[in-house]
Amino acid sequence: MKKKNLLFLSLTLLLAGCHANSNSISNSTFPSTSTSSSANQTKVYPSIITPNGTPTIAISNYAINHMPDVEIVSGPQPLAAAFASGDKDIIIAPINLGAMRYNKETNPTYGLYRTIVWDNIYLLSRKEVKAIDDLRGKTVTSYGKGSTPDVILNTVLSSSNLTSDVTIEYVDNVVMANSAFSSGTADYVISAQPNISALNLEGVYVKPLLDFWKTATSLDSYPQSAMFVKISKYEELKPALKEIDASIELVTKDVGTTAKNAETVTGTFKEALLTKAIPNCGYKSFKNEKELVEGYFNAMINLGLSANVGGKLPNENFYLNK
């Protein structure tokens, strides 16, 4: 495949899905909620680090009441540092980043609790792309080389023997990809929500890459951002995890409340934009999550990116919520 690396930062684990420009928001106006006492027990609220964007939106209904315990960051470096230090109870990160760290440790610190963002990668085009073969001879602008957008795109191209017939031009992030499309510099662009909802989509075709992924892999979904929990505190944190689970389920059930909370929590995205974007951000859950996760990891390995999952599939103990 011809690959031009435009403005590419050497971050092999760039966050997939949506990208925010703001690094963090102040927690100073929120009361501390690290513990909650009752007559019978004390519920421990976990310290959490999460990338801004779709992962933070996913937990915004929980985070709105626990802001001092939630650190919101941009880019993969703070997440990698959190895995290395073990200081946080919960790390929300690209799923392969957690797997890579797990496989590198003799006694792993974090295990996978659940995936919270799925299938949030889209192809924007000015001409309808009905089949992946329609990209033959075209140039596609993408972002996050070696991460989820790249893995999904290259897997579907490879399955149709298009790796030498499609040129991929890489930019640093989804914001730059969208800018290339809006300016007319690029006609075929890989993008994600909620950033897509900020664009003028008149005359634009928005194709979920999930459609091509299903054909290429016979899998119903692919994981992106996931919640990793400190293994030594898993039992202790179960009551709080149930609360977080309930808040995630509320995201698609009550989009209005979620959009309002997410505007406050992210400090980046507006309520009106989030109301449009949330239904398409990939907030789902699957009973066969392990099968889907391993299918995605195998796709990475087949593309020669085994280092990005730590060289192998994680063992059974990687999956906490069995």
Rg, Å, the chain Cα set: 19
Q: Mention every residue, 6+ apart, whose C-beta is less than 8 A from residue 261.
A: 60, 61, 63, 64
| pTM metric for this prediction | 0.86
Q: State the CATH class of domain 3-12+120-217.
A: alpha beta
Tens digit of pLDDT for each residue in 33-92? 455 544 455 678 999 999 999 999 999 999 999 999 999 999 889 999 999 999 999 999
Name the amino acid, one letter, at 169: E
Interatomic CA distance for residues 174 and 18, integer angstroms? 7
* Angle 284-300-223 from CA coordinates, rounded to 5°: 5
The mean pLDDT value of the chain amounts to: 89
CATH 3.40.190.10 maps onto the chain at 3-12+120-217, 35-118+222-318
What per-residue confidence (pLDDT) applies to 144?
A: 86
Question: Which residue reads 């992962």 in tokens?
Answer: 55
- What tens digit of pLDDT does each residue of 246-261 get? 999 999 999 999 999 9
Architecture of domain 35-118+222-318: 3-Layer(aba) Sandwich (3.40)
User: Strand 167-171 to strand 139-143: parallel, antiparallel, or no bridges (unpaired)?
Assistant: parallel
- Inter-CA distances, 206 with 54, 118, 129, Å: 18, 17, 9
Q: Give yes or no for a contact between 320 and 111, defined as CB atoms under 8 angstroms apart.
A: yes
Euclidean distance between CA atoms 148 and 154, whole angstroms: 10
Q: Where are the alpha helices (DSSP H) in 105-170?
A: 148-159
Please state whether the peptide bond connecting residue 194 to the residue before it is cis, i.e. omega within 30 degrees of 0: yes
pLDDT given for residue 10 in this prediction? 34
205: which residues sit within 8 A by CB, 6+ positions away?
Answer: 123, 124, 125, 126, 127, 128, 129
On whether the CB atoms of residues 247 and 62 are closer than 8 A, the answer is: yes
Q: What is the pLDDT along the chain (322 residues), one digit of tens a residue?
A: 544 443 333 333 334 444 444 333 334 333 444 555 444 556 789 999 999 999 999 999 999 999 999 999 998 899 999 999 999 999 999 999 999 999 999 999 999 999 999 999 999 999 999 999 999 999 999 998 888 999 999 999 999 999 999 999 999 999 999 999 999 999 999 999 999 999 999 999 999 999 999 999 999 999 999 999 999 999 999 999 999 999 999 999 999 999 999 999 999 999 999 999 999 999 999 999 999 999 999 999 999 999 999 999 999 999 998 7
Longest dimension (CA), the chain: 68
